Amino acid sequence: MKKVDITKKIVDCGALAIVRAETFERACEIADGCIKGGIPVMEMSYTLNSAGEMIQGLSNKYGKELCVGAGTVLDSETARHAILHGAQFIIAPTYNEDVAKVCNRYQIPYAPGCTSLTEAVDALSLGAAFIKAFPISDFYGPKLAKVFKTPIPDMPILASGGINLDNLHTWIENGVDVCGFGGLLTNGSVDDIAQNAMKIREIIINTRKK
Protein backbone atom coordinates (compact mmCIF):
# COMPACT_ATOMS: atom_id res chain seq x y z
CA MET A 1 0.00 0.00 0.00
CA LYS A 2 3.04 2.26 -0.41
CA LYS A 3 1.45 4.60 -2.95
CA VAL A 4 -1.71 5.02 -0.87
CA ASP A 5 0.26 5.66 2.34
CA ILE A 6 2.54 8.27 0.77
CA THR A 7 -0.34 10.02 -0.99
CA LYS A 8 -2.28 10.21 2.28
CA LYS A 9 0.75 11.61 4.12
CA ILE A 10 1.11 14.39 1.53
CA VAL A 11 -2.62 15.21 1.52
CA ASP A 12 -2.83 15.23 5.32
CA CYS A 13 0.09 17.67 5.45
CA GLY A 14 -1.39 19.83 2.69
CA ALA A 15 1.90 21.48 1.76
CA LEU A 16 5.42 20.74 0.61
CA ALA A 17 8.72 22.56 0.20
CA ILE A 18 10.13 22.97 -3.33
CA VAL A 19 13.89 22.74 -2.79
CA ARG A 20 16.81 23.64 -5.03
CA ALA A 21 19.56 23.59 -2.41
CA GLU A 22 23.10 23.57 -3.77
CA THR A 23 24.56 21.63 -0.84
CA PHE A 24 23.44 18.70 1.28
CA GLU A 25 24.06 20.75 4.41
CA ARG A 26 21.57 23.39 3.26
CA ALA A 27 19.04 20.72 2.28
CA CYS A 28 19.29 19.36 5.83
CA GLU A 29 18.73 22.83 7.32
CA ILE A 30 15.59 23.16 5.20
CA ALA A 31 14.46 19.69 6.24
CA ASP A 32 15.04 20.52 9.91
CA GLY A 33 12.94 23.68 9.61
CA CYS A 34 10.13 21.97 7.74
CA ILE A 35 9.98 19.07 10.19
CA LYS A 36 10.08 21.43 13.17
CA GLY A 37 7.25 23.49 11.68
CA GLY A 38 5.02 20.53 10.83
CA ILE A 39 5.58 20.21 7.07
CA PRO A 40 7.83 17.14 6.69
CA VAL A 41 7.42 16.92 2.90
CA MET A 42 10.15 18.07 0.48
CA GLU A 43 10.59 18.01 -3.28
CA MET A 44 14.20 17.99 -4.49
CA SER A 45 14.32 19.46 -7.98
CA TYR A 46 16.14 17.60 -10.75
CA THR A 47 17.32 20.95 -12.09
CA LEU A 48 20.27 20.02 -9.85
CA ASN A 49 22.64 17.29 -11.02
CA SER A 50 23.00 16.14 -7.42
CA ALA A 51 19.26 15.70 -6.81
CA GLY A 52 19.43 11.90 -6.65
CA GLU A 53 22.27 11.91 -4.14
CA MET A 54 20.47 14.59 -2.10
CA ILE A 55 17.30 12.48 -1.96
CA GLN A 56 19.26 9.41 -0.94
CA GLY A 57 21.14 11.32 1.74
CA LEU A 58 17.99 12.88 3.18
CA SER A 59 16.20 9.53 3.17
CA ASN A 60 19.08 7.89 5.01
CA LYS A 61 19.37 10.68 7.57
CA TYR A 62 15.71 11.31 8.38
CA GLY A 63 14.00 8.02 7.54
CA LYS A 64 10.24 8.11 8.21
CA GLU A 65 10.56 11.56 9.76
CA LEU A 66 10.72 13.12 6.27
CA CYS A 67 8.83 12.39 3.07
CA VAL A 68 11.21 13.37 0.27
CA GLY A 69 10.48 13.19 -3.45
CA ALA A 70 11.81 14.38 -6.80
CA GLY A 71 10.71 17.40 -8.80
CA THR A 72 11.18 18.54 -12.41
CA VAL A 73 11.15 14.93 -13.61
CA LEU A 74 10.66 15.15 -17.37
CA ASP A 75 11.29 11.58 -18.56
CA SER A 76 11.10 7.97 -17.44
CA GLU A 77 14.88 7.60 -17.11
CA THR A 78 14.98 10.42 -14.57
CA ALA A 79 11.95 9.01 -12.78
CA ARG A 80 13.59 5.61 -12.38
CA HIS A 81 16.85 7.25 -11.25
CA ALA A 82 14.94 9.19 -8.59
CA ILE A 83 13.03 6.12 -7.41
CA LEU A 84 16.25 4.09 -7.14
CA HIS A 85 17.66 6.88 -4.95
CA GLY A 86 14.69 6.72 -2.59
CA ALA A 87 12.25 9.29 -3.99
CA GLN A 88 8.85 8.71 -2.41
CA PHE A 89 6.96 10.77 -4.97
CA ILE A 90 7.54 12.29 -8.42
CA ILE A 91 6.49 15.79 -9.51
CA ALA A 92 6.90 17.41 -12.93
CA PRO A 93 5.95 20.65 -14.71
CA THR A 94 4.81 18.48 -17.66
CA TYR A 95 2.83 15.31 -18.24
CA ASN A 96 4.68 12.31 -19.67
CA GLU A 97 2.98 8.99 -20.30
CA ASP A 98 6.16 6.95 -19.76
CA VAL A 99 6.81 8.63 -16.42
CA ALA A 100 3.24 7.86 -15.37
CA LYS A 101 3.73 4.19 -16.23
CA VAL A 102 7.03 3.92 -14.36
CA CYS A 103 5.56 5.55 -11.26
CA ASN A 104 2.46 3.37 -11.36
CA ARG A 105 4.59 0.25 -11.87
CA TYR A 106 6.64 0.98 -8.75
CA GLN A 107 3.69 2.43 -6.80
CA ILE A 108 5.09 5.94 -6.48
CA PRO A 109 2.69 8.93 -6.43
CA TYR A 110 3.06 11.03 -9.60
CA ALA A 111 1.97 14.67 -9.96
CA PRO A 112 2.34 15.87 -13.57
CA GLY A 113 1.84 19.47 -14.64
CA CYS A 114 -1.19 19.60 -16.91
CA THR A 115 -2.29 22.60 -18.93
CA SER A 116 -5.59 21.19 -20.19
CA LEU A 117 -8.43 19.08 -18.89
CA THR A 118 -7.63 16.46 -21.52
CA GLU A 119 -4.07 16.09 -20.24
CA ALA A 120 -5.33 15.91 -16.67
CA VAL A 121 -7.82 13.15 -17.45
CA ASP A 122 -5.20 11.19 -19.41
CA ALA A 123 -2.80 11.46 -16.45
CA LEU A 124 -5.44 10.30 -13.98
CA SER A 125 -6.26 7.38 -16.27
CA LEU A 126 -2.62 6.25 -16.03
CA GLY A 127 -2.58 6.45 -12.25
CA ALA A 128 -1.45 9.99 -11.42
CA ALA A 129 -1.95 10.69 -7.71
CA PHE A 130 -2.30 14.45 -8.22
CA ILE A 131 -2.66 16.89 -11.07
CA LYS A 132 -0.17 19.71 -10.73
CA ALA A 133 -1.75 23.06 -11.48
CA PHE A 134 1.36 24.62 -12.97
CA PRO A 135 2.49 26.68 -14.85
CA ILE A 136 -1.01 27.89 -15.74
CA SER A 137 -1.75 28.51 -12.04
CA ASP A 138 0.42 31.62 -12.37
CA PHE A 139 -2.12 33.02 -14.84
CA TYR A 140 -5.43 31.69 -13.49
CA GLY A 141 -4.63 31.93 -9.79
CA PRO A 142 -6.74 30.15 -7.16
CA LYS A 143 -9.77 29.85 -9.47
CA LEU A 144 -7.92 27.24 -11.55
CA ALA A 145 -8.86 24.50 -9.07
CA LYS A 146 -12.54 25.25 -9.58
CA VAL A 147 -12.08 25.16 -13.36
CA PHE A 148 -10.64 21.64 -13.16
CA LYS A 149 -12.99 20.40 -10.46
CA THR A 150 -16.22 21.60 -12.04
CA PRO A 151 -16.34 18.69 -14.54
CA ILE A 152 -14.32 16.32 -12.30
CA PRO A 153 -15.05 17.13 -8.62
CA ASP A 154 -12.76 14.43 -7.26
CA MET A 155 -9.67 15.49 -9.20
CA PRO A 156 -6.75 15.70 -6.71
CA ILE A 157 -4.88 18.96 -7.27
CA LEU A 158 -1.39 20.03 -6.22
CA ALA A 159 -0.75 23.72 -6.90
CA SER A 160 2.44 25.77 -6.86
CA GLY A 161 3.30 29.23 -8.06
CA GLY A 162 1.80 32.42 -6.67
CA ILE A 163 0.75 30.95 -3.32
CA ASN A 164 1.59 32.95 -0.19
CA LEU A 165 0.40 33.39 3.39
CA ASP A 166 -2.17 35.99 2.35
CA ASN A 167 -3.94 33.96 -0.34
CA LEU A 168 -3.33 30.38 0.80
CA HIS A 169 -6.79 30.11 2.32
CA THR A 170 -8.35 30.99 -1.04
CA TRP A 171 -6.48 28.17 -2.80
CA ILE A 172 -7.67 25.69 -0.19
CA GLU A 173 -11.25 26.99 -0.32
CA ASN A 174 -11.24 26.54 -4.10
CA GLY A 175 -10.36 22.86 -3.79
CA VAL A 176 -6.57 22.59 -3.89
CA ASP A 177 -5.43 19.53 -1.93
CA VAL A 178 -1.72 20.29 -1.62
CA CYS A 179 0.23 23.55 -2.03
CA GLY A 180 3.90 23.82 -2.97
CA PHE A 181 6.10 26.59 -1.54
CA GLY A 182 9.53 27.81 -2.59
CA GLY A 183 10.96 30.78 -0.69
CA LEU A 184 8.70 30.55 2.37
CA LEU A 185 10.01 27.07 3.15
CA THR A 186 13.55 27.33 1.80
CA ASN A 187 14.89 30.80 2.69
CA GLY A 188 16.34 31.94 5.99
CA SER A 189 17.41 30.04 9.08
CA VAL A 190 15.99 26.78 10.41
CA ASP A 191 13.81 28.80 12.80
CA ASP A 192 12.62 31.12 9.99
CA ILE A 193 11.53 28.12 7.93
CA ALA A 194 9.89 26.50 10.95
CA GLN A 195 7.92 29.66 11.72
CA ASN A 196 6.65 29.90 8.14
CA ALA A 197 5.81 26.19 8.12
CA MET A 198 3.76 26.59 11.30
CA LYS A 199 1.87 29.54 9.81
CA ILE A 200 1.14 27.55 6.63
CA ARG A 201 -0.07 24.53 8.60
CA GLU A 202 -2.30 26.71 10.77
CA ILE A 203 -3.96 28.28 7.72
CA ILE A 204 -4.48 24.89 6.08
CA ILE A 205 -5.96 23.33 9.23
CA ASN A 206 -8.26 26.26 9.96
CA THR A 207 -9.45 26.56 6.34
CA ARG A 208 -10.18 22.84 6.06
CA LYS A 209 -12.39 23.03 9.15
CA LYS A 210 -14.76 25.45 7.45
Number of H helices, E strands in the chain: 10, 8
Q: Domains for the chain: give ranges and CATH numbers.
A: 2-209 (3.20.20.70)
- What is the spatial distance between Cα 14 and Cα 185, in angstroms, rounded to a whole number? 14
The packing angle between helices 190-209 and 24-37, to 10°, is: 40
- The residues facing 169 across adjacent strands are none
pLDDT, tens digit (0-9, with 9 covering 90-100), for 43-57: 999 999 999 999 999
Answer whether residue 146 shows pLDDT above 90. no
Percent above pLDDT 70 for the chain? 98
- Confidence label for 58 from pLDDT (cuts 50, 70 and 90): very high
CA separation for the pair 210, 196 (Å, rounded): 22
Long-range contacts of the stretch 135-140 (C-beta < 8 A, 24+): 135/93, 135/161, 137/161, 137/162, 138/162
pLDDT band, very low/low/confident/very high, at 11 (cuts 50, 70, 90): very high
